[in-house]
A and B are shown apart, each in its own frame.
Chain A
Amino acid sequence: DTGVSQDPRHKITKRGQNVTFRCDPISEHNRLYWYRQTLGQGPEFLTYFQNEAQLEKSRLLSDRFSAERPKGSFSTLEIQRTEQGDSAMYLCASSLGLAGGEETQYFGPGTRLLVL
Chain B
Amino acid sequence: SQQGEEDPQALSIQEGENATMNCSYKTSINNLQWYRQNSGRGLVHLILIRSNEREKHSGRLRVTLDTSKKSSSLLITASRAADTASYFCAYSYGNNRLAFGKGNQVVVIP
A112 lies within 8 A of chain B by Cβ: yes
Cα distance A105–B32 when bound, in Å? Answer: 11
Contacts of B26 in A (CB 8 A): none
Q: Contacts A101-B92, A103-B92, A104-B33 given: A110-B100 contact, CB under 8 Å?
A: no
Stretch at the interface among B12-20, B43-51, B72-80: B43-51
**Which of A45, A100, A107 is B43 in contact with, Cβ under 8 Å?**
A107
Q: Contacts A42-B90, A44-B100, A45-B99 given: A101-B50 contact, CB under 8 Å?
A: yes
Chain B 35-78 against A: per-residue CB contact (8 Å), 1 yes, 0 no?
Answer: 10000111111001011100000000000000000000000000
A25 lies within 8 A of chain B by Cβ: no
In this complex, how many residues of chain A approach chain B with their Cβ under 8 Å: the count is 30
Cα distance A31–B96 when bound, in Å? Answer: 10
Contacts of A35 in B (CB 8 A): 98, 100
Chain A 35-69 against B: per-residue CB contact (8 Å), 1 yes, 0 no?
Answer: 10000111111001000000110000000000000
Decide: A43 and B102 in contact? CB cutoff 8 A.
no
Cα distance A4–B101 when bound, in Å? Answer: 22
Decide: A43 and B48 in contact? CB cutoff 8 A.
no
Decide: A102 and B42 in contact? CB cutoff 8 A.
no
The smallest beta-carbon distance between B52 and chain A, in angstroms, is 7
The smallest beta-carbon distance between A78 and chain B, in angstroms, is 21
Decide: B30 and A107 in contact? CB cutoff 8 A.
no
Q: Contacts A31-B96, A42-B88, A91-B42 given: A101-B30 contact, CB under 8 Å?
A: yes
User: What is B's interface to A at a CB cutoff of 8 Å?
Assistant: 1, 3-4, 30-31, 33, 35, 40-45, 48, 50-52, 88, 90, 92, 95-103
8 contacts between A and B (CB under 8 A): A31-B96, A93-B43, A95-B96, A100-B50, A101-B51, A106-B45, A109-B42, A110-B41
CB-based closest 9 A-B pairs: A42-B100, A101-B50, A109-B42, A107-B43, A101-B31, A101-B30, A45-B97, A107-B42, A103-B96
